[in-house]
Structure 1
Amino acid sequence: MTATGNGGGGFLRPLVMSGPAGDGGTPGRGFERGDWVVLPDQSLGALVHARPPEVTGSQWNTAIRTRYDFVACDRRTGRPVFAVELSDPDTTGTGRSGGAERADRMRTAVCDAVGLEVLRIVSPILRPAGVGRRIVEYLLDARSYATAVRDAVDPTDPLAEPAVGYRDIIGRLPDGRDGFVNDLGALARAAAVDAYVSRRLTDPILRGLYVHWVDGPAEGWGWVEVGEGRCLFERVLLWPHRFSCGVPPERLAEDLAAVAIGERLRSADPVPDDRAEVARRFTELGRRRAELVGGFAFDHLSFG
């Protein structure tokens, strides 16, 4: 995309597609979906035409080097609305190292000043060139749906029926059953059944859980049983900043963990995880329930 001005005095540059829409996983090429235009691999510095006065020089110099895997723009105006970053997990669990936290604060200061929403997805498996485009398309569709139902419901009408959430819509699935048609992990759940039929798994069910840390990320888990004390386990953290697509972040995190499991099942011979280690992490998660929004709702699960 190329800049076309200063957005009528705003700090975000309106952008236009500089070439034909194509595969969003290909660097330098974007794609269109509904009222959106999306371009991969953009720096924050390329999105902002000038340093906002409330942003310090240090914050600015650090933040503008940030690269986002996808930037979604309003198709009518070209204005960037939100950015998505898919990154590897930190070695410090749900927290961030001191240097990373400082850099986060600097980026946040700039994004706040210019009005850019950001969603960071932390996973060792989910990569921009793999499932990145599918994830972004899901976010766009969910967000468009949330906007449509919000505009259709009169908030002053006490008798108005609350709209069904995007993730909660039930319809006919490809296999003929009724179920959640907007389950981002549906393909992975089907892959788990296929892997069970082919005896790669000992259980066809892809299980999961989610939590939301106080003043921290949403966290989702997904796992399938391999047998003999082994499983395939994935954990995804979501750090939304000003971002919402109408799907609760903790539920989205769980679905993304399912997507990550699906990516591992695509491998001919995925390396399994130690089930005892997952059980230890599960126990530790339960012990930290006081640090979780709404506590811990998964005591009924067992890794014993």
Structure 2
Amino acid sequence: MTSTGSVAAAWLRPITGGAAPLLSRAGQVGYAARRLSELVQGRPPGITGHQWSTASKEGFDLVVCAADTGWPLFALQIAAPAPAGSAQRAERMTSAVCAAVGLPVLRVESPTLRGSEHGRRLVEYVIDARSYAAGTQPDPEGGDMVGFRDILGRLPDGRRGPVNDLGALTRAAAVEAFVERRLADPIVRGLHVQWADGPAEGWSWVEVRPGRCLVERVQLFAQRFSCGVDPGRLAEDLAAVAVGERLRDLQVGEPPLVERDELRQQIRRLAARRDEFAGGFAFDHLWVD
């Protein structure tokens, strides 16, 4: 079983009995819609009464536990970006409590993705990715190891490519929509960055009308948590998933689009902040003439 440490042992509460788990995978089970108060045994040290009162009411879309003990291993939350004010304060207080008890949290911020629709697939993905990373041994001859995201196989559209790309279905759908003349371009493009001491951020877009793009952005906060894959690439893939969700809107009406020149300016402004990224900025080709 994965341990979250002595602090967690003192304050976290196992999930036992009650509703059946939503998923079971690799010795882990996932429970839907759990409040923080169900996981923590009272107010931990260093947390004020106000922080605890606010945070204890907050919930997670999925909580993953060890199958044999019910011990919480990590929690997933998918939410729209919090507006400035009380929502952001509640988020900070929840993060403070989770840090105090040693509960790893994966938080996804997206205006389009929903925990009820996308949470299970994401949790299964990171469980598989983490298991793969834990079981992968270095090449004794010094060659590069193939990461989970880069494993090649047969894609949904019959082509060969990375089978663990969460955006693969979106990319296939974009090609189909282009053939049916519902898109101006079949390629789903994207970028990602890792903010220093902050979230990973992924962008994805497709040109729906000549010079006008459907754009999605996702921020991924991996708090005391390893995703098993590069967080930036995962954020970009999740943004591609969000693009796929909005492509469905083309069947009933046109979603809000961004002018291609404006998108290029947005990428230019992002690139200008490269000193704030861990690992720099690798996407200058997207805006440089």
Both structures adopt the same fold (TM-score exceeding 0.5): yes
Cα displacement string for residues 159-214 of structure 1 (whole angstroms, at most 9, x for unaligned residues) = 67664211111223344432111111111111111111111111111000001112
Cα RMSD (Å) of the superposition?
A: 2.5
Q: 1:141 to 1:99 in 2, by over 3 A?
A: same
- Tell me which of 266, 283, 286 is aligned to 1:298: 283
Q: 1:303 to 1:205 in 2, by over 3 A?
A: farther
Matched residue, 1:134: 121
Shift of 1:32: 2.0
Unpaired stretches in structure 1, ≥5 consecutive residues: 1-6, 22-29, 92-96
Matched residue, 2:180: 198
1:271 correspondence with 2:255: yes
What is the DSSP-based 3-state SS (H/G/I as helix, E as strand, rest coil) of the residue aligned with 2:285?
A: coil
Matched residue, 1:85: 77
For residues 35-46 of structure 1, the aligned pairs below 5 Å read 35-46=27-38
Matched residue, 1:4: none
1:51–1:60 CA contact under 8 A, matched in 2: yes
> What's the TM-score once normalised by structure 2's chain length?
0.88
- Structure 2 counterpart of 1:288, which letter? R
Matched residue, 1:143: 130
1:60 correspondence with 2:52: yes
Matched residue, 1:210: 192
- Tell me which of 258, 269, 272 is aligned to 1:284: 269
Moved more, 121-130 or 273-282: 273-282
1:117 correspondence with 2:104: yes
- Structure 2 counterpart of 1:107, which letter? T
What is the DSSP-based 3-state SS (H/G/I as helix, E as strand, rest coil) of the residue aligned with 1:138?
A: helix
Q: 1:124 to 1:303 in 2, by over 3 A?
A: farther
- Structure 2 counterpart of 1:189, which letter? R
Q: 1:177 to 1:126 in 2, by over 3 A?
A: same
For residues 12-27 of structure 1, the aligned pairs below 5 Å read 12-16=12-16, 18-21=18-21
For residues 134-173 of structure 1, the aligned pairs below 5 Å read 134-149=121-136, 153=137, 163-173=145-155
Cα displacement string for residues 274-301 of structure 1 (whole angstroms, at most 9, x for unaligned residues) = 2243233212112212212222211111
- Structure 1 counterpart of 2:63, which letter? V
Number of aligned residue pairs: 280
Distance in 1, matches of 2:121 and 2:58, equals: 23
Moved more, 123-132 or 249-258: 123-132
Distance in 1, matches of 2:225 and 2:209, equals: 39
Distance in 2, matches of 1:159 and 1:10, equals: 44
1:207–1:222 CA contact under 8 A, matched in 2: yes
2:156–2:168 CA contact under 8 A, matched in 1: no
Shift of 1:303: 8.6
Matched residue, 2:3: none
2:150–2:164 CA contact under 8 A, matched in 1: yes
Distance in 2, matches of 1:67 and 1:122, equals: 15
What is the DSSP-based 3-state SS (H/G/I as helix, E as strand, rest coil) of the residue aligned with 2:236?
A: helix
